Structure 1
Amino acid sequence: IMQAYEYGHAYSELNLTLETGVYGSTFYMLTGFHGFHVTMGAIMLISILGRSMKGHFTPHNHFAFEAVAWYWHFVDVVWLGLFVFVYWL
């Protein structure tokens, strides 16, 4: 929801489009690609929550839980880099 607001603001008030130059296309590509991965991570977390509530994980059998946790941490780290690259530089 916040990303849609930001895209609307960038398009209407800042006149930032894919055709306005390298920054516009880079901005939409990086934030859109990251938004896709955040959405996929949220879906995976909801799936893992459902599986854990059904008792699918044990102390010895929890690879999916750990893999989703690693994925989500990677998405967090990428967000930090994107924030610095897109909004500070």
Structure 2
Amino acid sequence: ASFTIADSVYGSTFFVATSFRGLHVIIGTSFLAICFYRLYKCHFSSDHHFGFEAAAWYWHFVDIVWLFLYIFIYWWGG
């Protein structure tokens, strides 16, 4: 059965969480594109690579948050 954002608290939570997930994926993809550009322009070195490291940490954070969202909203909530 389909549901909308106005049907219930579960529907609202589902759509808001999914939208935030999409926003974080867009931000992370932008970070990776910037890292690729900087790598192409040789801006990184073995001593100077914080931007690349920050992008990697960001993706790890997004993955862990997604696991919690999946477990608490989709698995237990459904």
Fold shared per TM-score above 0.5:
yes
Inter-partner Cα distance in structure 1 for 2:2 and 2:60: 33
How many corresponding residue pairs?
A: 76
TM-score, reference length from structure 2: 0.89
Aligned Cα root-mean-square deviation (Å) = 1.0
CA distance in 1 between counterparts of 2:53 and 2:2 reads: 42
2:42 corresponds to 1:55: yes
Partner secondary structure for residue 57 of structure 1: coil
The match for 1:39 is 26
Q: Give 1:37 deviation, angstroms.
A: 0.5
Counterparts of 2:68 and 2:56, CA distance in 1: 19
Query: How does the TM-score come out when normalised to structure 1?
Result: 0.79
Instruction: Tell me, in whole angstroms, the C-alpha distance in 1 between the residues paired with 2:19 and 2:72.
Output: 15
Tell me, yes or no, if structure 1 residue 72 matches structure 2 residue 59: yes
Match of 1:81 in 2: 68
Q: Structure 1: how far apart are the matches of 2:5 and 2:18?
A: 13
Percent of pairs with identical residues:
50
Structure with the larger RCO, 1 or 2 (CA within 8 Å, 6+ apart) = 2
The ranges of structure 1 where at least 4 consecutive aligned residues each deviate by more than 4 angstroms after the TM superposition are none
2:29 & 2:64 partners in 1: Cα distance?
A: 16
1:8 match: none
Residue ranges of structure 2 left out of the alignment (5+ in a row): none
Residue 30 of structure 1 and its aligned partner are, at CA, apart by 0.7
Instruction: Measure the CA separation in 2 of the matches of 1:64 and 1:36.
Output: 20
